[in-house]
Amino acid sequence: MTLTNPLGIDIFELVLFLVEFSHYIIGGAAVLLVFAFPPESIVSVNGKTKSVKKDYSKKIALALFVPGLIVTLVASVIFASWEDAYVRGYEIFKYPSLRSKLENYIETGEDDLNDILESDKYAPTFGLVEARYLMKDLLRHTVFHSNDHNEDNIDEGYNKGNDWFKATLGESMMYTTGLYPNGNETLEEAQDYKIDYVADAIELEPGMSVLDIGCGWTYVANRLTEKHGANVTGITLSKEQLAWGKELNKENSATILLQDAMQLKQRTDLPEEGYDRVTSLEMAEHVGIRRYQEFLKMVHSMLKDDGVFYFQVAGLRRAWRYEDLIWGLFMGEHVFPGADASCPLGWISTQVERAGFEIQRVHNMGSHYSKTLDHWLDNWHASKDYIEGKYGAVAYRRWEVFLAWSVRAARQGSSTLFMLTLTKAGEEGRRIDSQNHLVPKDVPSMGNFW
C-alpha cells in the first residue's frame, strides 16, 4: 500500500483483465449507451413559458467511463513509478530517468551503456515517452489486435534484413533461447541442445508429422527434419524468413509456408486428421492477450488426440517492478511491436488449461535466455562496422540497447522464458505415456531415509 495506491490494487492484474475482456467491456458499454439510461426530461416553467430539455449527463458519463479508466490507470502508473523510485533511494531530481538516459545514448553515443544500465543511478520512472506510447499501443495493438496488425508489425519485427539478424543471431539464425547444460557451450551448441530437448520433450519419432508455428528462419524445422526424421511444416508471416527457410531446406522434405498463424485453419492443403506434434517457440507473444484463447484453441483442434504440444513463451515475473514495464514498452516500440502477450506463468497456465490442454512439464529458463542474449550482444558488437556502415550508428545503438537491456532483464527476472510440454486434457493414455517419459531422471541419491 502506497500514497499513490492506498487500496493496494494490483495494476498489472487489472490491466490483464481489462485487455483480455476488452471487447466485452466495450461492447457492453456501447449497448448500455444506446439502450439504457434514457435522457431525462427536465421541465422548466417560467411564468407562462414552459420549456423541456433532455438531460444526457448519465450517457455522457458512461461514454467517458472506458477512456477515463485508461487515463486514470496511466496517470496512476506514472505517479506510482516516481514514488517507488523515491522510496528505493534513487536521486530522481539529480539524474534523468533510465529511459531518457538510454534514449540520449542511442542518439549521441555518450557515456557507457553498461554503466547506464547497471549503476542504479537512473530511476525506471514513467515519463511522457512511455505515457504516449502506452496510450497509443494499448488502443491500437492490445485492445484492437487484428490480423492486419499482425502483418503491419512483421516488417519492424522480422523484415529488417537477414544480414541484420545474422549479425545478431549467428549462423543458426535462431531467434529463441538456447540451453546451456554445462554453462560453457557456444551459442550454436546451446541452440542445438535446445532443439534436441524439444524433440525429446514431445517424444518425436521418425516419420511423425510436426507443425512448427512461427518457424522463424527454420533452423528448428531443419534439425527436426534432418536429424530426427520428422515431416515438418513450418509457418511464418515473414517473406524474408520464408526465402531463407526455403533455401536452407531445399535438400530435405521440410515444407515452409507463408501464412498468418491466426488464419491457419483457412488453408485447405493441411492434413485434416491433424498433426502428431505441434511446436511453437516464442511466437505466441505476437498473438496478443485478447486473442490468446483463439490461438490455443486453434492449436488444440490441429493436434491429434494422442499428440504433444511444445509451447515456449517469453514471460514476465508476477512480482513485477517498474523497470520491467518500462523495458517492455521499449521492446514494444522498437523491437517487437504488437507482442503484448508476454505474461506471468500463472496467466499462461490458466490460458492453456482453459483451451483444453494439460500441463505435463514446465521449466523456467530465464537465466539461459540472458546467456543467449549475451552471446547475441557479442555478435552484434563484432558486426559494429558493417551495421553502422549500412544502417547507421543510431540504428546500431538502438539494437545494442535492446540486447544489453534484455541481458539484464532476463538475468534479474524482469523477463523470463517458460517451456511447457502439453497434452490434450482427458487423453488418459497420452497422459500416462508423457508422464512416464518426463519423470525426473538421474536424481542424485540422498541415501536411505528410513
Give residue-wise pLDDT tens across range 117-131. Answer: 999 999 999 877 777
Backbone angles phi, psi at 160, to 5 degrees: -70, -25
pLDDT at residue 402 in the model:
96
pLDDT-wise least confident of 82-86, 140-144, 270-274, 406-410 = 140-144
Residue 177's pLDDT is what? 96
Q: What is the pLDDT of residue 72?
A: 77
Q: Tell me the mean pLDDT in the region 237-261.
A: 95
Instruction: Tell me the torsion sign for CA atoms 210, 339, 161, 258.
Output: positive
pLDDT the model gives residue 95: 94
What pLDDT is stored for residue 443 in this prediction?
A: 73
Long-range Cβ contacts of 369-374 (<8 Å, 24+ apart): 369/177, 369/314, 369/410, 369/415, 369/416, 369/417, 370/406, 370/407, 370/408, 370/409, 370/410, 370/411, 371/178, 371/180, 371/190, 372/177, 372/178, 372/187, 372/190, 373/403, 373/406, 373/407, 373/410, 374/407
d(CA 162, CA 116) in angstroms, rounded, equals 30
Average pLDDT over residues 330-348: 83
Q: Residue 16: pLDDT band by 50, 70, 90 thresholds?
A: low
For residue 298, the tally of other CB atoms under 10 A from its CB is 19
* 378-389 pLDDT, tens digit each: 999 999 999 999
Residue 152 CA: distances (Å) to CA of 141, 147, 158, 428: 10, 9, 11, 42
